[in-house]
Amino acid sequence: MNIQALGDITPFHPLIIKSHFDFKWNELESISNYLINTTEQEMVLETGGGLSSALNPKPPHMLPEFEEFYKWFLPMARHIIIKEWGYTPTINYNVVQSWVNVHENGGTTLEHNHGGAILVASAYLNLPKDSGFIEFRDPMEYQKGFHRRDNMGWEWNECKAKTGDVLCFPGWLKHRTQPSNSDEQRWVLTTNVGF
Amino acid sequence: MNNQKKLIDVTPFEPLVIKVHYDNWDLESIIPICEKLIEEAPLKTHLELNDAASSVSNKLAPPHLIPEFKPFYRWILPMIEHIMYNEWELNRKIDIGISNSWVNVHGMGGITAEHEHGATAVVAAAYITLPPNSGFIKFKDPLEYVKGIRPENDADMRFYKTVKAQQGDVLLFPGWLRHKTEPSKTDEKRWVLTTNFVAALNKDKLKL
């Protein structure tokens, strides 16, 4: 069918924004493992071979090994919050929490959101082939659910990525990961920005 | 999207507002028909304020059943099918029908108040004429409640987004998306043809 070019002119803010940072994974692998190994409490969201340092009192953003990343990340996060999403510039947005997750083969993170975080950043420290992407739940599923769809699970939408990609999205947006089908570990650094 | 830091919008959800363009309005024949439709409308709609009127209550002669509008509907129907089935992934077993169509006219100060189109699958707002300063459409952010934590001042500016257009443009959007128009600031008439395309299960497929 010869369809005239359709222009997407949806005027609302972009919800998920991708950028890229070249992590030196060989220099971060040791500290990332240390954070996982010294976390005493397990996260209920991590299943099937997934572990998180979310409850570790040492968050990555306070560690010198991750300083270079946060020096790059924070101005960008503030730019997105203020310029792209229209928040007031009179507040000093800052990192409020951070952690690393690791997924073995079969590992997955269950559906969740980040509550009051203004911006969440998922940074792929190491994303092997077939280790699973993040999926976002359509926040307009109730409005769109009015009409019948061909495909079950249409409300879940995958965002493809590669090692070094950094996905920024609002804390209220529900998401989960696909299970890893790789024997190589998938490492993600997650950061909550708030005020 | 600002590309200063190579930020890429990767939002994976389908587009909500889509623009296409129709170049074949024969204004000399269409405008007198539009004026007659307005004149013969039995009721004044509460949504049209100041110097504004609509033929929406004229159920005897909706534009999609009038021969002069047929070329437009023949042109747009494949696009509506594409959007419903391919862009928005609605069930292909459900046919497309038109539940209603009408024209609106705005003079100086004319405005259409905030509203939505209920169960309509795709709304098409076609600018038959759009003089300078006659006002654009504004869409209300459907995520206003989750975004409502943002500390900002002007609530109207915050949640309403203006979509600029030109004469001949056709805006396509889901019926649940709330919208209104800016007030016209010109004496020249702004004419808009609006059509509700519905997902019509167990009904005859629309033939044009």
Residues A193 and A121: their CA atoms lie apart, in Å, by 8
A16 by Cβ neighbours in 10 Å (0-12 / 13-18 / 19+) ranks as buried
What pLDDT was estimated at residue A2?
45
- Model confidence pTM above 0.90: no
**pLDDT value at position B1?**
59
Q: How much is the pLDDT for B195?
A: 97
| Pairwise CA distance, residues A155 & A133, whole Å | 16
Lowest mean pLDDT among A66-75, B19-28, B86-95: B86-95
- Taking residues B116-130, report their average pLDDT: 95
Per-residue pLDDT, averaged over A46-70, amounts to 95
Share of chain B above pLDDT 70, in %: 89
Note the pLDDT of residue A51. Answer: 94
Distance from CA of B174 to the nearest CA of A (A): 9
The pLDDT assigned to B71 comes to 97
Task: Provide the chain A residues 103-122 that lie in CB contact (below 8 A) with chain B.
Answer: 116, 118
- % of residues, chain A, pLDDT over 70: 98
Query: What pLDDT, on the 0 to 100 scale, is given for residue B3?
Result: 47
Per-residue pLDDT band for A1 (boundaries 50, 70, 90) equals: very low
Q: Say yes or no: A29 contacts chain B, CB-CB below 8 A.
A: no
pLDDT tens-digit series, residues A114-153? 988 999 999 999 999 999 999 999 999 988 887 777 778 8
From A59-68, B84-93, B133-142, the region with the lowest mean pLDDT: B84-93
Q: Does A136 touch chain B (CB under 8 A)?
A: yes
How confident is the model over B87-108, as pLDDT tens digits?
A: 888 888 888 899 999 999 999 9
- Give the model's pLDDT for residue A43: 84
Phi/psi at A184 (5° precision): -90, 145
* For testing contact with chain A, the best of B1, B4, B6, B7 (most A CBs within 10 A): B7
- Which tokens hold the place of B165? 């257009």
Count of other CB atoms within 10 angstroms of residue A54 = 20
Mean pLDDT, rounded, for B63-79? 96
Mean pLDDT, rounded, of chain B:
90
* Residue contact B13–A157, C-beta within 8 A: yes
Question: Measured between CB atoms, which of B2, B152, B176 is closest to A86?
Answer: B152
Band of pLDDT at residue A3, cut at 50, 70 and 90: low
- The pLDDT score that the predictor gives to residue B90 is 87
Q: Which residues of B163-189 are buried (b: 16+ CB within 10 A; e: fewer)?
A: bebebbbbbbbbbbbbbbbbbbebeeb
Q: Which of residues 68-87 of A touch B (CB under 8 A)?
A: 76, 79-80, 83-87
Does the distance separating the beta carbons of B10 and A167 come in below 8 Å? yes
In chain A, residues with a C-beta closer than 8 Å to the C-beta of B17 are 8-11
Put simply, the answer to whether B174 touches A143 (Cβ < 8 Å) is yes
DSSP letter for each residue of A84-147: IS---TTS--EEEEEEEEEE-TT-EE-SB--TT-SEEEEEEEE--TTS--EEEE-TTHHHHTTS
> A126 with A30: CB under 8 angstroms?
no
Count of CB pairs separated by less than 8 Å, A with B: 140
Cβ of residue A11 closer than 8 Å to a chain B Cβ: yes
A64 φ/ψ angles, rounded to the nearest 5 degrees? -60, -30
User: Which pLDDT belongs to residue B116?
Assistant: 95
Query: Can you tell me the distance from the alpha carbon of A1 to that of B172, in angstroms, rounded to the nearest whole number?
Result: 19
Query: Considering chain A, what is the average pLDDT of its residues?
Result: 93
